[in-house]
Amino acid sequence: MSCVLIAEDDILTSVLITSIVESEGHKAFHAKNGLIALEATEKYHFDLIFMDIQMPGMDGLEVLKTLKENNATSSIPVIAFTASIKGNNDREFYLKAGFSEYLFKPVYVDKLREVIGKYLSSSEV
């Protein structure tokens, strides 16, 4: 069973992603901000991380930078998602920043399943 970290300060979005991750047979861990997400990566092994860009305390870009500097977590796929629009090249910006994928909020169930399937093998529940 794979373990997925969901770093998200919005409870509704985190509940949606958690339910999809668990319905695909994986374990989900929720972090309500970037600092908690970093602490979790120091204690647990994650196979995939969903990272909100705009979180209190430490944003998703700062968390990603720290993860990439840490050899133990640098190879974990990190999926960026945000409702904030920087411009027409958001996807390109986040991929160049080091994220594995970029999703725009609201996040759709089919797209979540597609991303989970791309990075994790299916598990029986």
The full set of domains in the chain, from first to last, is 3-118 (3.40.50.2300)
Element (H, E) at 113: helix 109-119
- What average pLDDT does this structure show over 81-110? 85
* pTM for this prediction: 0.91
**Letter string b/e over residues 70-100, b meaning 16 or more CB atoms within 10 A of that residue's CB:** eeebeebbbbbbbeeeeeeebeeebeebebb
With vertex at residue 69, the alpha carbon angle to CA 101 and CA 90, rounded to the nearest 5 degrees, is 30
Q: Output the pLDDT for position 125.
A: 44
Residues 7-55 have pLDDT tens digits of: 999 999 999 999 999 999 999 999 999 999 999 999 999 999 999 999 9
DSSP state of 80: E
Beta bridge partners of 101: 79
